[in-house]
Amino acid sequence: MFRFLSILFLLLLARSASSQDITPPDTPVLDSVSLLNPLDLNSGKVIVSWFPCDSADVANYVIYRSISMVWQQIAVVPSPATSYIDVTAAGNFQVEAYRIAATDEVNNISPMTLNAQYHNTIHPFPYQDSANCQMAIKLEWGKYVYWSEGVNEYNIYFSENYGPWTLLSTVTGNTSVFYHQTINDNTSYCYIVRAVSNSGRTSTSSQTCFFTNLPDYPHFINADYASVVSDNRIEVSFTLDTLFNVKKNYKLLRAEGSDGTFIQIANYNNYTSLNLIYYDNVDATKSWYYKLVAVDLCGNFVVQSNIARNINVTVTSNEDATETVIWNTYFNWLGGIEKYNIYRVVDNQAPVLAGTTFIDTVFVDDISLYSINRKGASGKFCYYIEAVEGDFNPHNIKGESKSNISCETQFSRVFIPNTFTPNGDVLNAEFLPVVSFVDASKYEFNIFDRWGKKIFETNDPLKGWDGKINGRKVPGGNYVYTLFYTDNSDNKKEKTGYVFLFYP
């Protein structure tokens, strides 16, 4: 009986003592939070670890997680456990933050981890960027901030196309950005970041992956032509690679002479059209060299077109009623040269194809048909060349290029016979000066008899005297003529002499 009373007394005493315990345990200290299985892309489970609480009467640990920016209790873990796996976390998609508290046997609860000392998981964010003039994957992550001893380093691991994991780099503890530069196109890269504290504790991030679709540079640039528009303007055309993912930044360069230095004359960023046409206001009687280059992020040349050079033509008048036309070859079509067409322009009339050559760059044009008593043929002959690209262009492009126009004037010529025989046999039946390249609008031809009477006159260089007056033959003998004309240098000329008319 006495023993029973003793036990009852002790129980009552303990109950009285416990009812007076209002002191909560100390706040536990978090060790780390980390993804439980970062290699599993579908798992966001987080393991929360802490140090055993200093208070001896700890019964439970209370785990809190930040949900929608509000701290909510998610678990009560009995002591002496020092870790908890949060199976409801989404650490594979986002950063998860945790705080912890402790309760004793009578449910006194300690304060939570200080608001400014919570621990968080690491979640890397990879995306495409550039660094040092080349494409890269930029990896960013939120720092692990509340280890009391601080972060010593971050180890970055990567897997290419879901292969084995490799340590990519180690960066300092105050770093949260890393550029992965040695990357390939159309490749999957997965990353894990592991924080290491100055005392050796670790926190491993979730795994995040990125599939590269790097912008490419053009596979080709075709210089279609450099063609003269006028004496002071050249049109240059290029055909471009328009694939969707091509980086379309270009610079147009020009040089004077084959050994000249190319200088930039135009710049194009994000140019998306199939053709690029540029008009250059320069002296088109000179040779100019053009090329278009694609540039990288630092402006370095990565793809260059073939060089396009305009054609220059010169013409020289010859005494034998020919014109010598000389030009330089077109330079340099990928399809080679198919032919050169030589066009003649007489007295500002419509161009006429004078000839075609396939190799030569010299053409001698016989213009004698324009030289004898032709109305309006002042002697001005102009020429230009049209080059046509061959059929071997790898991009199925066929360019055409026109040269400048070069003009030359044939000198005026006048020949006056001294006799004629208008006897009806058609041969030598008309007295007509043979004139070439004179101004027909200022032409005057007169015939006088021996007493100075004018018996014939005309302003038509195609009309001569048939030896008649009012339809009746005149007697044979000497007659005086005068010829007034203006040559193609606008000089007024006069010729006077005798012509002998006889009837055989």
493 within some domain: yes
Question: Does one domain contain both 234 and 324?
Answer: no
Burial of 291 (0-12, 13-18, 19+ CB in 10 A): buried
Residue at a domain's end among 361, 384, 409: 409
- Distance CA(392)–CA(112), nearest Å, equals 79
**Quick one: which H or E segment has residue 113?**
none
Whole-Å CA distances, 427 to 18, 357, 392, 422, 465: 154, 41, 58, 8, 14
| 324 bridge partner residues | 316, 364
Same domain, 179 and 260: no
Q: Structural domain of residue 159, as residue ranges?
A: 125-211
Instruction: State the total domains in the chain.
Output: 5
- Assigned domain for 151 exists: yes
Do 33 and 110 lie in one domain? The reply is: yes
| Residues paired with residue 227 on neighbouring β-strands, in sequence order | 235
282 assigned to some structural domain:
yes
Other beta carbons within 10 Å of 159:
18
Q: What is the pLDDT of residue 157?
A: 98
In the Cβ-directed half-sphere of 206, how many Cα atoms lie within 13 Å?
Answer: 26
pLDDT value of residue 15: 47
Residue in this structure with the two tokens 């030009």, named with its chain if needed: 327
In a domain, 348, yes or no: yes
Element (H, E) at 211: strand 208-211
119 touches 97 (CB < 8 A): yes
Burial class for 315, CB neighbours closer than 10 Å (0-12, 13-18, 19+): buried
CATH label of the domain that carries residue 80: 2.60.40.10
Q: Please give the radius of gyration of the chain, using alpha carbons only, rounded to the nearest integer.
A: 50
What is the secondary structure of 382-429 as a DSSP string? EEEEEEEE-S--TT----EEE---EEEEPPPEEE--SEE--SSSSTT-
User: Residue for token digits 């609480």?
Assistant: 53
* Position 14 in a domain: no
Contact 307, 290 (CB under 8 A): yes
b/e per residue 224-237 (b: at least 16 CB within 10 A): bbbbbeeeeebbbb
Domain boundary (277, 293, 309) is at: 309
11 SS3 class: helix
Computed from CA positions of residues 448, 450, 452, 455, in that sequence, does the dihedral angle turn out positive or negative? negative
Residue that the structure tokens 């409801």 belong to: 88
What are the residue ranges of helices labelled H in 372-487?
none
Beta pairing, strands 419-420 & 492-501: parallel
> Do residue 349 and residue 422 come from a single domain?
no
Q: Residue 301 and residue 294: Cα distance in Å, rounded?
A: 6
> Are 480 and 428 in the same domain?
yes
Amino acid present at 219 = H
Contact 341, 330 (CB under 8 A): no
Instruction: Return the closest-CA partner of residue 305 out of 363, 384, 252, 371.
Output: 252
CA distances from 358 to 264, 425, 442 (A): 34, 48, 42
Whether residue 359 is contained in a domain is answered as yes
Six token digits for residue 65: 């997680």
Q: Specify whether 397 is located in the same domain as 419.
A: no
Residues 361, 329 share a domain: yes
Residues 305 and 318 in one domain: no
Sorted by sequence, the CB contacts under 8 Å of residue 287 that are 6+ apart come out as: 256, 257, 258, 309, 310, 312, 328
Q: What pLDDT does residue 439 have?
A: 79
Q: CB within 8 A of 177, min separation 6: which ones? A: 138, 139, 140
What pLDDT tens digit does each residue of the chain (504 aa) get? 444 444 444 444 444 444 567 899 999 999 999 999 999 989 999 999 999 998 889 999 999 999 888 999 999 999 999 999 999 999 999 999 999 999 999 999 999 999 889 999 999 999 998 887 788 999 999 999 899 999 999 999 999 999 999 999 999 999 999 999 999 999 999 999 999 999 999 999 999 999 998 877 888 999 999 999 999 999 999 999 887 667 789 999 999 977 779 999 999 998 989 999 999 999 999 999 999 999 987 788 889 999 999 999 999 999 888 999 999 999 999 999 999 999 999 988 899 999 999 988 999 999 988 876 665 567 889 999 999 999 999 999 999 999 999 999 888 889 899 999 998 887 899 999 988 888 778 899 999 998 999 999 999 988 999 999 988 999 999 999 999 998 877 889 999 999 999 987
Q: Is residue 216 assigned to a domain?
A: no
Are 61 and 79 in contact, with CB atoms under 8 Å apart? yes
Residues 187 and 246 in one domain: no
Q: Nearest-CA neighbor of 238 among 111, 333, 359, 133?
A: 333
Two structure tokens written together for 5: 């009373």
Q: What is the pLDDT of residue 347?
A: 83
Q: What is the CATH number of the domain that holds 443?
A: 2.60.40
Distance CA 192, CA 404 (A): 66
Closest CA to 82 of 136, 142, 31: 31
What DSSP line would sit under 140-173, residue for residue?
Answer: E-------TT-EEEEEEEEEETT--EEEEEEEET
pLDDT recorded at residue 266: 97
- Where a domain ends, among 309, 326, 358? 309
- One domain, residues 85 and 97: yes
Q: Which sign, positive or negative, has the C-alpha torsion 217, 219, 221, 224?
A: negative
The reported pTM is: 0.65
Q: How far apart are CA 394 and CA 380, in angstroms?
A: 42
For the beta sheet containing 30-35, the strands, ordered from the edge strand earlier in sequence to the opposite edge, are: 30-35, 46-50, 83-86
Does residue 3 sit within a domain?
Answer: no
Q: Are residues 280 and 336 in the same domain?
A: no
Q: Which SS3 state, helix, strand or coil, does residue 333 take?
A: coil
Same domain, 233 and 275: yes
226, 249, 369: which is closest to 301 by C-alpha?
A: 249
List beta partners, residue 337.
389
